[in-house]
Amino acid sequence: MIEPEPEAQQPPPAATDPPIQGSPLVQELQAATETSTSVADAAQSVDQLPDTFTFNHISGAAEDFPGDGETKELLAKWGVSELMQYHSFRFDQFYQPHMSDQLLLDFVKDPEVQKVWRVPPKGLRGAPQPLGAVSRIRTQPVPSSLTSFSIFDRLSKAGVVREETGSIVKCFDNYIQDMQIQDKLRECLLDEDSENYTLFTDEERDELLLRLFQHCVLGGGMCQYEDEIQPYFKATKVLYKKLLAVRKHEETGKIEVVTRVFSLRSIKAGKTDPALFPSRSPYSFCYLFVNPVKRTLSVWYMPWISLLG
């Protein structure tokens, strides 16, 4: 069973010291706050697992993603847009966290979802295909308790980024699982033998904020990397605000993240059906974002393939 992620905890605001530091993202999301009570209070209905969750496509969501023209250009520059997909759907059935197993499986199996979300075949040979007769999925809850860019101050203190200019320090070329490493930023994210790899703990690396930042930095198979850190910060912030919804708690008045995030790791389908990703790469990703207040489920998917051969 998928265990519900821990409640998001808002850390104290971090001091702003550009170009490295940033303000708490939850505070910046307040303008888009969901005005509702807790999911359980809002339901007021019988807490029963539905026979099947069904989904309706929200048109225009893919074209609008990520909602910022400059970030869209950056994602294209970094090779993320080449094979990336983003789709949003509505569901009408009542949902609570303990129903997540069925919700996510029904989503991947749903005919309306498979009409829109199709995956590239192995080796990119042929047109994208629906996932087919999915019988099982493997997912992992993704915590979203980190909400401040102050965690990235460690990069300047360790000499990965120059604090005065935000420029990324270069290093000798290296390759890690087909990823070219040319600077200390990618080195500290990927090279376990690097002295800077321990700047972030395993728990922090599992957080959505760190995941989004890493996806921006690493990019896709044909990535034009940045020399300065700020574009990565900007894109990470835009993605975070686009993918997560927040609301004000009716009793405490505190702003809290309501979106539940899951990483879809693999699927089991028919023998002739495609795999979730066309090749095995640690840089591929697929996230499912559940908004229990608006009853929406969005998928953000990118298979990583070296397009250089």
Q: Residue 70 has which token pair?
A: 């400059």
Mean pLDDT, rounded, of the chain? 87
User: What percent of the chain has a predicted confidence (pLDDT) above 70?
Assistant: 83
For 199-248, the pLDDT digits (tens) are 999 999 999 999 999 999 999 988 999 999 999 999 999 999 999 998 88
Q: Is the pLDDT of residue 120 over 70?
A: yes
Q: Is the pLDDT of residue 5 over 60?
A: no
pLDDT for 67: 84
What is the mean predicted confidence (pLDDT) over 57-67?
90
pLDDT for 112: 97
pTM equals: 0.85
Q: Which has the closest alpha carbon to 276: 258, 294, 261, 288?
A: 288
- DSSP readout, 61-114? HHHHTTS-HHHHHHHHHTT-TTT-EEEEEE--S---GGGHHHHHHHHHH-HHHH
pLDDT for 32: 53
pLDDT for 91: 97
pLDDT for 27: 60
For 10-34, the pLDDT digits (tens) are 444 444 444 445 556 656 665 555 5
For 253-291, the pLDDT digits (tens) are 887 899 999 999 999 999 889 999 998 899 999 999 999
What is the mean predicted confidence (pLDDT) over 65-86?
93
- Kindly list the domain boundaries of the chain, sorted by start residue: 25-302
Q: CB atoms < 10 A from the CB of 191, how many?
A: 17
Q: Which has the closest alpha carbon to 87: 119, 53, 116, 66?
A: 116
Q: Is 76 exposed, middle or buried (0-12, 13-18, 19+ CB in 10 A)?
A: middle
